[in-house]
Amino acid sequence: MVEYTYLVLSLPRGTSRDTARQILTEHAERGGWEIDRLRLYPDGRRRIQLRRKVIRAVRTF
């Protein structure tokens, strides 16, 4: 069974689409995060839930 770690980002209403893209790109490239959910509220706020797989080390000897 796959296990995930979650991270929630909240971006204020003044954040441009280009800035939001840059923030998400940094998290994806540097931290291995992927978008799980993205919600855009009517007032312009964004709530983004990111996830990444938890990799457990297994002894092999």
The vertex-41 CA angle with 37 and 43, nearest 5°, equals: 155
Residue written as tokens 């297994």? 58
Q: What is the pLDDT of residue 58?
A: 85
- Asked if residue 50 lies in contact with residue 5, where contact means CB atoms within 8 angstroms, the answer is no
Alpha-carbon dihedral 49, 18, 25, 8, rounded to 10 degrees: -20
Identify the band that residue 57 occupies on the pLDDT scale cut at 50, 70 and 90.
confident
Where do the domains of the chain lie? 4-53
* CA torsion through residues 23, 9, 47, 50, sign: positive
Residue type, 60: T
Per-residue pLDDT reduced to its tens digit, 23-54: 999 999 999 999 999 999 999 999 999 999 99
